[in-house]
């Protein structure tokens, strides 16, 4: 309805009654601009399932303070694109980053995951490192990042529906580079952002 990447990245939540989806997202358009777009070019079937009149917006900060501590939550798809073959996977495949590390560390079959556990490499630890790598120098992750939800899901793509990890990570970080952090908020984290992954939801940090 609004055009490609008009609301990007975004996150969809079920309403309390489980009958509606509520969408949060970052956009260069304010609420009035989005409503105007919907009025001018919105298709009837899209308008029939969207409460356009309920769109609300707020101005995000134009500058961020280095050293500011914030809490965050993000839904991500922590996958790695293989740079070489990792049987049975081929170069270029997108594989769960936890599985990639497990297969490289322990080439012999380890279906119980005992090796990774003994090495202290839980799924939470691997995904936290993946997130820190994607955020780069924009922030410093504080200790205590938690994997609050994990599932394996398929995403519908043209000609395929690849299965992969669906994870929600929660924690706190300290802003190190204001420009890089602004870019991370604007662009999201990781891959598959068109499917609702990668948005950084920000909250007040806990008082210490």
Bigger pLDDT: 168 vs 4: 168
Residue 96 clears pLDDT 90, i.e. is over it = yes
Residue 110 clears pLDDT 60, i.e. is over it = no
Q: Quote the tokens at residue 153.
A: 């899901």
Q: Quote the tokens at residue 163.
A: 């299965």
All structural domains of the chain = 10-54 (no CATH), 69-204 (3.30.70.1210)
Q: Residue 177: its pLDDT value, please?
A: 97
Q: Residue 207: its pLDDT value, please?
A: 64
Report d(CA 138, CA 68) in Å as an integer: 12
CA 8 to the chain's CA centroid: 11
Phi, psi at residue 38, to the nearest 5°? -60, -40
Q: What's the length of the chain?
A: 208
In DSSP notation, 27-69 reads -SS-HHHHHHHHHHH--HHHHHT--GGG----PPPSS--TT-E
Q: Quote the tokens at residue 11.
A: 């996150």
Q: List Cβ neighbours of 5 (8 Å cut-off, separation of 6 or more).
A: none
Half-sphere exposure of 14 (CA within 13 A, CB side): 4
Helix 123-135 and helix 97-105, axial crossing angle in degrees, nearest 10: 110
The enclosing H or E element of 99 equals: helix 97-105
Cα dihedral 26→45→154→160 (10° resolution): -110
Q: 64, 175 in Cβ contact below 8 A?
A: yes
Report d(CA 120, CA 144) in Å as an integer: 15
- Give mean pLDDT, residues 167-176: 97
For residue range 14-70, list pLDDT tens digits in order.
888 888 899 999 999 999 999 999 999 999 999 999 999 999 999 999 899 999 999
CA 81 to the chain's CA centroid: 16
Q: Residue 169: its pLDDT value, please?
A: 98
Q: Residue 114: its pLDDT value, please?
A: 76
What percent of the chain lies above the pLDDT cut of 90? 68
Report d(CA 8, CA 194) in Å as an integer: 8
Q: What is the end-to-end Cα distance of the chain in Å, rounded? A: 44
For residue range 116-155, list pLDDT tens digits in order.
888 889 999 999 999 999 999 999 999 999 999 999 988 7
């Amino acid at each position: 309805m609004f055009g490609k990447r008009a609301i990007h990245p975004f996150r969809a939540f079920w309403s309390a009654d489980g009958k509606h989806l509520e969408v949060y997202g970052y956009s260069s358009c304010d609420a009035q601009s989005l409503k105007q777009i919907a009025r001018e070019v919105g298709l009837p079937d899209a308008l029939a399932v969207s409460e356009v009149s309920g769109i609300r917006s707020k101005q995000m900060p134009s500058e961020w303070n280095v050293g500011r501590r914030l809490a965050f939550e993000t839904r991500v798809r922590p996958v790695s694109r293989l740079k070489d073959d990792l049987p049975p996977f081929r170069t270029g495949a997108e594989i769960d980053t936890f599985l990639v590390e497990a297969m490289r560390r322990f080439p012999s079959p380890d279906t119980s995951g005992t090796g990774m556990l003994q090495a202290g490499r839980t799924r939470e630890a691997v995904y936290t490192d993946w997130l820190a790598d994607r955020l780069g120098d924009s922030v410093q992750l504080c200790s205590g990042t938690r994997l609050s939800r994990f599932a394996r899901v398929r995403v519908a793509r043209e000609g395929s529906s690849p299965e992969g990890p669906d994870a929600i990570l929660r924690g706190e970080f300290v802003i190190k580079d204001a420009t890089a952090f602004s870019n991370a908020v604007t662009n999201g984290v990781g891959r598959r952002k068109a499917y609702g992954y990668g948005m950084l939801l920000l909250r007040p940090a806990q008082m210490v």
